[in-house]
Amino acid sequence: MTLKTAITQPRVLIVNDDIDTLVQLRRPLELANFSVDFIQDGSEAIKHILYTITDILLLDLDLPTLDGWNLLRMMSIYQRTTFTRTIVISEQFTELDRIAAFELGVDDYIRKPFNIREVILRSRSVYRRNNSVPNQSIRKNIFSIS
C-alpha cells in the first residue's frame, strides 16, 4: 500500500461473527478500493474503533460477548467515534429494530441477505456524506464573507 492509497482509501471495519459473511464482504470491498479489517466480536470491535481510524463500520447486531446494540451504545459515549459512519447489516429488520438503530446513530441499515453491490454503494454514499461536511462548512463561510 502506498502513502497515497493509505490516505485516500476509506477504512472499513466489518464486525460479524459469520465467516461466510466476512468472505462475501471483504474481497469485493477491497476491489472497490476500501481498506478492510474484520473482527468477529463486539468487545474487540470497540477497542479497534477507539484506537484505529475507522471511516465505516459494517455491523451485525448478533455478536458474541458484546452484541451490536451494546456496541452502538458504547460508541455514542466516545467522541472518538463521532466520524465513524455505521451501516448495520442484519437479519433483524423489523420497523422497531431499524428505528432503534437509527436512534442510536446508525447511518444506514441493510437487510440480510444483502446484495454486495448495494453494500458498496451505500458505503461510498455514507463516506461521501461524512467527508463533505467540512467542505460544506468552508463553502458556507466563503459565501457569507462575499
Q: What is the pLDDT along the chain (146 residues), one digit of tens a residue?
A: 544 445 579 999 999 999 999 999 999 999 999 999 999 999 999 999 999 999 999 999 999 999 999 999 999 999 889 899 999 999 999 999 999 999 999 999 999 999 999 999 999 999 998 886 554 443 344 334 43
What is the C-alpha to C-alpha distance for residues 144 and 146, in angstroms, rounded to an integer? 6
Residue 131, pLDDT score: 83
Range of the domain at 95: 3-145
CATH number of the domain residue 95 falls in: 3.40.50.2300
Q: Give the gyration radius of the chain's Cα atoms.
A: 16
Residue 130, pLDDT score: 83
What are the beta bridge partners of residue 84? none
Transcribe 61-79 into DSSP letters.
S--SSS-HHHHHHHHHH-G
Cell of 20: 461466510
- Domain count across the chain: 1
Cell of 57: 463500520
Q: pTM of this prediction?
A: 0.85
Helix (H) or strand (E) holding 110: strand 108-111
